[in-house]
Structure 1
Amino acid sequence: MSAIVTEVCAIEDVAAGVKAFTLRPLDGPAPPCPSGSHIVVDMPPPGRPAAYSLLDPGGGVYRIAVKREPDSRGGSSYLHALKPGSRLRVQAPANRFPLAAAPGPRLFIAGGIGITPFIAHMAALGNDAHYQLHYAFRDAASAAFAAQLANRSERGDARVHLYESRAGRRLDLDALIAAAPADSQVYVCGPERLIAATADACVRRLPAGRLHYERFSADATAEGASFEVELVRSGLRVRVGAEESILAAIERQTALRPDCLCREGYCGSCETRLLAGNAEHRDQYLSETERQERIMICVSRAAGSGPLVLDL
Structure 2
Amino acid sequence: MYPTLRVRVSRIEQLAAGIKSFTLQPCDGGALPAFDSGSHIVVHMDQGRMRNAYSLTSALDDRSRYQISVRLEEASRGGSRFMHEQLRENDELDIGAPANLFGLGDGAGKHVLVAGGIGITPFMTHIQALARQQASFELHYCFRNRDSAAYLDELPSTLAPDQLHLYESDTGGKLDIDALVASQPAGAHIYVCGPQALNDAVVAAARAAGWAAGRVHFEQFRNEVDATGGAFEVALRKSGVTLQVGADEPLLRAIEKAGVKIDCMCREGICGTCETAIIEGEADHRDQYLSDAEKAAQKTMMVCVSRCKGKRLVLDL
Instruction: Give the 3-state SS of the residue equivalent to 1:122 in structure 2.
Output: helix
Mapped to 2, the partners of 1:16 and 1:219 lie a distance apart of 19
Mapped to 2, the partners of 1:133 and 1:10 lie a distance apart of 28
**Shift of residue 257 of structure 1?**
8.5
| Residue type at the aligned position of 2:62 | G
Partner of 2:303: 297
C-alpha contact (below 8 Å) 2:196/2:220 kept by paired residues: yes
Mapped to 2, the partners of 1:109 and 1:235 lie a distance apart of 46
**Shift of residue 264 of structure 1?**
1.9
Aligned residues: 288
| Residue type at the aligned position of 1:44 | D
Partner of 1:208: 213
Instruction: Give the 3-state SS of the residue equivalent to 1:134 in structure 2.
Output: strand
| Residue type at the aligned position of 2:185 | P
What whole-Å deviation, never above 9, does each CA across 1:109-132 have from its counterpart, x for those lacking one? 000000001011101222632101
Instruction: Give the 3-state SS of the residue equivalent to 2:7 in structure 1.
Output: strand
Partner of 1:95: 100
Q: Structure 1 residues 219, 15: closer, same or farther in 2, change over 3 A? A: closer
Instruction: Give the 3-state SS of the residue equivalent to 2:204 in structure 1.
Output: helix
C-alpha contact (below 8 Å) 1:113/1:143 kept by paired residues: yes
Mapped to 2, the partners of 1:163 and 1:231 lie a distance apart of 49
Q: Structure 1 residues 76, 273: closer, same or farther in 2, change over 3 A? A: closer
- Asked if 1:146 corresponds to 2:152, the answer is yes
**Shift of residue 273 of structure 1?**
4.5
Mapped to 2, the partners of 1:114 and 1:96 lie a distance apart of 14
TM-score by length of 2: 0.75
Partner of 2:171: 167
Mapped to 2, the partners of 1:100 and 1:257 lie a distance apart of 36
What whole-Å deviation, never above 9, does each CA across 1:151-181 have from its counterpart, x for those lacking one? 556xx53111010001111111111111112
- The match for 2:68 among 61, 64, 89 is 64
| Residue type at the aligned position of 2:183 | A
- The match for 2:116 among 111, 116, 120 is 111
| Residue type at the aligned position of 1:42 | H
C-alpha contact (below 8 Å) 2:268/2:287 kept by paired residues: no
Mapped to 2, the partners of 1:219 and 1:55 lie a distance apart of 20
C-alpha contact (below 8 Å) 2:275/2:300 kept by paired residues: yes
- Asked if 1:35 corresponds to 2:37, the answer is yes
- Where do 5+ consecutive residues of structure 1 fail to align? 222-228, 239-243, 286-292, 303-307
Mapped to 2, the partners of 1:40 and 1:189 lie a distance apart of 18
Mapped to 1, the partners of 2:20 and 2:250 lie a distance apart of 35
- The match for 2:125 among 120, 129, 152 is 120
Instruction: Give the 3-state SS of the residue equivalent to 1:103 in structure 2.
Output: coil
C-alpha contact (below 8 Å) 1:140/1:147 kept by paired residues: no
Partner of 1:305: none
Q: Structure 1 residues 181, 13: closer, same or farther in 2, change over 3 A? A: same
Q: Return 201-210 or 130-139, whichever deviates more.
A: 201-210
Mapped to 2, the partners of 1:245 and 1:194 lie a distance apart of 30
**Shift of residue 271 of structure 1?**
2.3
Instruction: Give the 3-state SS of the residue equivalent to 1:12 in structure 2.
Output: strand
Mapped to 2, the partners of 1:236 and 1:49 lie a distance apart of 24
Counterpart mapping for 1:127-138 below 5 A: 128-138=134-144
Root-mean-square deviation (CA, aligned residues, Å) is 4.1
Mapped to 2, the partners of 1:112 and 1:183 lie a distance apart of 27
Mapped to 1, the partners of 2:23 and 2:191 lie a distance apart of 26
C-alpha contact (below 8 Å) 2:116/2:193 kept by paired residues: yes
**Shift of residue 209 of structure 1?**
1.7
Mapped to 2, the partners of 1:172 and 1:273 lie a distance apart of 39
**Shift of residue 296 of structure 1?**
2.6
Instruction: Give the 3-state SS of the residue equivalent to 1:209 in structure 2.
Output: helix
**Shift of residue 263 of structure 1?**
4.8
**Shift of residue 139 of structure 1?**
0.3
Mapped to 2, the partners of 1:11 and 1:299 lie a distance apart of 29
Mapped to 2, the partners of 1:237 and 1:24 lie a distance apart of 39
- Where do 5+ consecutive residues of structure 2 fail to align? 227-233, 291-298
Mapped to 2, the partners of 1:72 and 1:19 lie a distance apart of 15
Partner of 2:202: 198
Q: Structure 1 residues 113, 236: closer, same or farther in 2, change over 3 A? A: same
**Shift of residue 311 of structure 1?**
1.2
